[in-house]
Amino acid sequence: MYQVRRNQLKGYLCTMLGAILWGSSGTAGKALFETGMTPFELVQIRLTLSTMLMALCLGIFSRGLFKIRLKDIGYFLIFGGIAMAMVQSTYFYAISKIQVAAAILLQYLAPILVAIYSACFWKERLTAAKLIALVLSFGGCYLVVGGYDVQLLQMNILGIVGGLGAAVSAAGYTLLGERGMHRYKPSTVLFYAMAFGSLTWHIIYPPFHYAVAGFSLYQWKWLLYIAVMGTIIPFGLYFTGINYIRSTRAIITATLEPISAGVMAFFFLGEAMESLQILGGMVVVGAIVLLQTQREHDEMTPELIRARKS
């Protein structure tokens, strides 16, 4: 019993630290945007650096994790080249336009969208608790984006669209990622997702733009931070946490991300959300906790398991 509790504590601590680091990457990204860097430059460099560093680590410690089946290349093209590329770009675009915490909270609509998809296509039960969570999440996001203030809403419209795009992209990334986890180790799935995402951004954006852009040492310092401390390490901590606690509890714990991002943005960037936006954020986090707790109690029927693997 003592060992079980100790492992659970490790799981929660790993997940919490990962969420805080994810939140810090948003703040670091906003700091880079204030130096003149664009979200698309940041996404291209983040995916490229993360891929290179992961390739180095896997090459030294776990070369076997590079192996994938030829028939799965199409899957990774969609998962990494579309889903990963889109979730990264919409996420940072939203951060460049609105408050860091608000952008991340909008992205956290993804679990709600996943629940809707699961109910429609995977035959998960749509219980009263889930319906309440859905209503609360949309009501909370209405407050987060400033729907109560027409001027605030109009000013943030592009950022809101970016945040909603991040939610849709993250939902697709989650659903596709779950399918990949049935076939490969998390490190393999993450590496190829980032690799194909990087390939996409070298096609749709000037390739190797960062090599001639003349970024300063200050900018490269934050870029390296985002690649290592905001991408590779938090994903590693999150997957480690899942090994000790159920994935549902890990997802709930990860809602610390927008909270930590808001605190860091307040102290380092001077960003502050209005009281109604903060209330909306609390409602969104509460809805996610309610939704995931409810899903934890759902029975995994054979039909649902087959649907998720297909």
pLDDT digits (tens, 9 = 90+) for 83-95: 999 989 999 999 9
Give residue 299's pLDDT: 45
Sign of CA pseudo-dihedral 29, 262, 136, 308: positive
In degrees and rounded to multiples of 5, residue 269 shows phi and psi of: -115, -5
Token duo for residue 64:
């076997």
**How many C-beta atoms surround the C-beta of residue 207 within 10 A?**
12
Token duo for residue 58:
């896997």
Q: What is the mean pLDDT of residues 94-112?
A: 84
Q: What is the mean pLDDT of residues 105-123?
A: 76
Q: What is the share, in percent, of the chain residues with pLDDT greater than 70?
A: 86
Distance separating alpha carbons of residues 81 and 196, to the nearest angstrom:
5
Residue 37 has pLDDT above 80, yes or no: yes
Residue 247 has pLDDT above 80, yes or no: no
Greatest mean pLDDT among 56-70, 97-111, 239-253: 56-70
Higher pLDDT, 301 or 101: 101
Give residue 304's pLDDT: 47
